[in-house]
């Protein structure tokens, strides 16, 4: 295949980014290997992908053993990089979204990840086709009934400890736990068992951005060899498993996968992030029954005491010529208290000012104030509404669009909660680099709280074996 000027220029730029301990295949070799990988994926009947920290470095989340990795910098006595944006606003890479497309096409059967950033789930990989071996910084689980709760904020603990929230199952109510393992924790059978099963079934295990040094996880791809499967490794550094692999590609994961998708004539879908929040109206009659004392709250759908991380502050104004005092709500929980005449029906305008990492600065929502609270629960077709939001955002990349997905009464105190879905990021991808509708991609670096506290305790690379 002849190489165009753009491909050569892109390769030169990539080589300039390679660290001293990293390797990048010569351009003609890289192109040949990408062709081989595309053929392998086209023929594959049971593809399994095994991912490590290198798949998320382009999302601004540092790896561990790379030249700017957490462990490398610690070993050299250098300071860890400061986060320019919070961890919870990190967005999937080109590779994450390519895997989503491969799964939808029926090529990719299962994903095994060592990462705790939650980006595979956020990108759209189905939960039943994903094993998160080391946990998920945004996931809580009920140790009693097993229900999982995916949050939009980073869970405050690690090491499978109890958190401050409880299971919302009315028949349960047990305390929830985080899912991120500490070094002394064994890999959970719930994740490990399906991972082992699919590796045994795999005809190709594609290892992306992993040093394959953390045991016992690094031995999972080897289980495919007994059944005649092949291992492919894409990484900028050599790994201990290179000799077992049928194909080793030294290059940037995003560039390799983009090349594979191009040869398969498959698109890399855009990423549309949709966040949820609820507006709760609570009211009581005054003692003389002439007025209504009411409270308007903008709150998390994960509980009224849970943080709402993507909203910085809320501006409140009144429509229909209502002569009520405007307000700016800076402190969570965002809450406005007012007293009005009982018979009044009017609209409130909420201007939601978004936190750093969102694709636009703000969005406005009109909220009708009607004190005749319905006792009915209005359940909308949530999946259809969310898909419509994604389709609209993809066709016209713009954040801030929103829709109501649920209305429900709260009997005590008398309230009504309206749940909104709102588009907060739209990210388009091309062959060379992602394009964002906002400035999120400029110097994006996920917060290090979850990563640093989870992994800095040990560098042995060994975990407690399963009992």
Residue 275 CB partners (closer than 8 Å, separation 6+): 152, 310, 421, 422, 424
User: What whole-number distance in Å separates Cα of residue 429 and Cα of residue 98?
Assistant: 10
Strands 108-113 and 130-132: parallel
Neighbours of 86 (CB within 10 A): 18
Q: Is the pLDDT of residue 374 over 60?
A: yes
Q: Counting Cβ atoms within 10 Å, is residue 20 exposed (0-12), middle (13-18) or buried (19+)?
A: exposed
| Integer CA distances (angstroms), 215 to 134, 159, 269, 367, 440, in order | 12, 18, 33, 53, 35
Cα distance between residue 152 and residue 130, in whole Å: 19
β-pair partners for 50: 112, 207
Q: How far apart are CA 96 and CA 119, in angstroms?
A: 7
pLDDT-wise least confident of 24-33, 88-97, 163-172, 322-331: 322-331
Helix or strand or coil: residue 185? coil
What phi and psi, each to the nearest 5 degrees, are found at residue 431? -70, -25
Question: Is 202 a residue whose pLDDT tops 90?
Answer: yes
Confidence label for 447 from pLDDT (cuts 50, 70 and 90): very low
Of 142-146, 151-155, 393-397, 408-412, the poorest mean pLDDT is in 408-412
Which residues, including other chains, have CB under 8 Å from residue 433's CB and lie 6 or more apart?
94, 441
Cβ atoms of 234 and 242 within 8 Å: the answer is no
167 marked among binding-site residues: yes
Q: How far apart are CA 3 and CA 180, in angstroms?
A: 44
Query: Are the beta carbons of 130 and 113 closer than 8 angstroms?
Result: yes
Q: What is the pLDDT of residue 323?
A: 74
pTM of the model: 0.86
User: What span, in angstroms and rounded, lies between the C-alpha atoms of 390 and 271?
Assistant: 9
Contact in structure between 299 and 278 (CB atoms under 8 Å): yes
Six-digit token string for 395: 């066709």
Q: How high is the pLDDT of residue 7?
A: 55
Task: Please say if 250 is a catalytic residue.
Answer: no
120-135 per-position pLDDT tens digit: 999 999 999 999 999 9
Distance CA 238, CA 247 (A): 12
Q: Quick one: pLDDT band at residue 65, thresholds 50, 70, 90?
A: low
Q: Is 24 annotated as a binding residue?
A: no
More confident residue, 402 or 411: 402
Q: What is the pLDDT of residue 458?
A: 36
Mean local confidence (pLDDT), 102-107 = 98
* H and E: helices and strands count for the chain: 9, 21
pLDDT in tens, 240-264: 999 999 999 999 999 999 999 999 9
DSSP state letters, 296-349: EEEE-TT-TTS--TTEEEEEEEE-TT-----EEE-SSSEEEEEEEETT--EEEE
Asked whether 342 and 285 are in contact (CB, 8 A), the reply is yes
CA pair distance 164, 166, nearest whole angstrom: 7
- Average pLDDT estimate for 58-81: 65
Handedness of CA 259, 261, 264, 268 (dihedral sign): negative
Comparing 37-46, 75-84, 276-285, 321-330, the range with the smallest average pLDDT is 75-84
User: What CA–CA distance (Å, rounded) separates 187 from 216?
Assistant: 8
Report which of 185, 245, 179 is spatially closest to residue 210, judged by C-alpha positions. Answer: 245
Average pLDDT over residues 157-177: 93
Mean pLDDT of the 330-340 span: 92
Structure confidence at residue 462 as a pLDDT band (50, 70, 90): low
Strand partners, 315: 328, 351
Greater confidence, 185 or 433? 185
Residue 366 or 341, more confident: 366
The reply, when asked if residue 142 is annotated as ligand binding, is yes
Is residue 145 part of an annotated ligand binding site?
yes
Confidence band for 114, pLDDT divided at 50, 70 and 90? very high
Percentage above 70 pLDDT, the chain: 81
Integer Cα distance of 158 and 135 in angstroms = 9
CA separation, residue 341 to residues 2, 338, 349 (Å)? 76, 10, 19
Q: Which residue has the tokens 């961890």?
A: 87
Contacts of 175 by beta carbon, 8 Å cutoff, 6+ apart: 143, 162, 163, 165, 166, 167
101: helix, coil or strand? helix
Cα 431 from chain centre = 22
Angle formed by the axes of helices 5-17 and 27-43, nearest 10°: 100
Asked if 127 and 110 count as a contact pair (C-beta separation under 8 A), the reply is no
Beta strands 175-178 and 139-142 are antiparallel
What is the model's pLDDT at position 445?
30
The two structure tokens encoding residue 235? 């990484």
Report which of residues 216 and 5 the model is more confident about. 216
- pLDDT value of position 369: 85
> Cα–Cα distance between 258 and 441 in angstroms, integer?
18
Question: Could you tell me the two tokens for 219?
Answer: 């031995």
In this prediction, residue 61 has a pLDDT band, given cuts at 50, 70 and 90, of confident
Does the pLDDT of residue 166 top 60, yes or no?
A: yes
Q: Which of 46, 88, 96, 134 is catalytic?
A: 134
Q: Supply the pLDDT for residue 129.
A: 98
What DSSP character marks residue 389? H
**Average pLDDT value for the chain:** 85
Q: Average pLDDT for residues 395-410, to the nearest whole number?
A: 90
Res. 315: pLDDT tops 50: yes
Q: Is the pLDDT of residue 306 over 70?
A: yes
Residue 5 has pLDDT above 60, yes or no: no
């Amino acid at each position: 295949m002849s190489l165009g000027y753009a491909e050569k220029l892109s390769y030169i730029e990539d080589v300039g980014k390679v660290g001293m301990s990293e390797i990048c295949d010569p351009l003609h070799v890289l192109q040949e290997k990408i062709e081989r990988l595309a053929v392998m994926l086209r023929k594959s009947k049971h593809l399994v992908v095994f991912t490590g920290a290198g798949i998320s470095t382009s999302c601004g989340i540092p790896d561990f053993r790379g030249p700017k990795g957490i462990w490398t910098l610690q070993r050299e006595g250098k300071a860890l990089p400061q986060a320019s944006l919070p961890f919870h606003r990190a967005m999937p890479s080109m590779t994450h979204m390519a895997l989503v497309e491969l799964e939808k096409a029926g090529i990719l059967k299962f994903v095994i990840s060592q990462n705790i950033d939650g980006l595979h789930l956020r990108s759209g990989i189905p939960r039943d086709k994903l094993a998160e071996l080391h946990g998920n910084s945004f996931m809580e689980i009920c140790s009693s009934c097993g229900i999982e709760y995916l949050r939009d904020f980073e869970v405050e603990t690690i090491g499978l400890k109890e958190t401050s929230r409880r299971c919302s199952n009315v028949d349960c109510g047990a305390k929830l736990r985080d899912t991120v393992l500490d070094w002394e924790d064994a890999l959970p059978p719930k994740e490990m068992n399906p991972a082992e099963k699919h590796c045994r079934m795999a005809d190709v295990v594609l290892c992306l951005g992993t040093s394959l040094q953390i045991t016992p996880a690094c031995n999972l791809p080897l289980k495919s060899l007994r059944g005649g499967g092949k291992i492919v490794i894409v990484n900028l550094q050599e790994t201990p498993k290179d000799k077992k692999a049928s194909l080793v590609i030294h290059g940037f994961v995003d560039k390799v996968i983009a090349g594979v998708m191009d040869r398969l004539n498959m698109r890399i879908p855009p990423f549309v992030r949709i966040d949820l929040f609820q507006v709760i109206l609570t009211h009581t009659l005054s003692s003389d029954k002439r007025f209504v004392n009411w409270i308007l709250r903008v709150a998390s759908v994960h509980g009224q005491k849970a943080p709402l991380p993507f909203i910085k502050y809320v501006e409140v104004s009144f429509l229909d010529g209502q002569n009520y005092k405007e307000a700016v709500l800076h402190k969570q929980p965002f809450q406005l208290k007012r007293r009005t005449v009982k018979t009044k029906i009017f609209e409130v305008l909420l201007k939601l000012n978004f936190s750093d990492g969102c694709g636009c600065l703000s969005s406005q929502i009109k909220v009708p104030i009607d004190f005749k609270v319905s006792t009915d629960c209005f359940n909308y077709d949530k999946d259809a509404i969310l898909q419509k939001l994604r389709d609209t955002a993809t066709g016209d990349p713009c954040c801030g669009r929103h829709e109501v997905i649920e209305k429900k009464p709260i009997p005590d105190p008398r309230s009504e909660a309206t749940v909104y879905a709102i588009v907060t990021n739209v990210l388009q991808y091309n062959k060379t680099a992602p394009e964002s509708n906002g400035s999120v991609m400029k110097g994006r670096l996920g917060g290090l709280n979850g990563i640093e506290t989870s992994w800095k305790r040990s560098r042995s690379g060994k975990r407690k074996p399963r009992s």
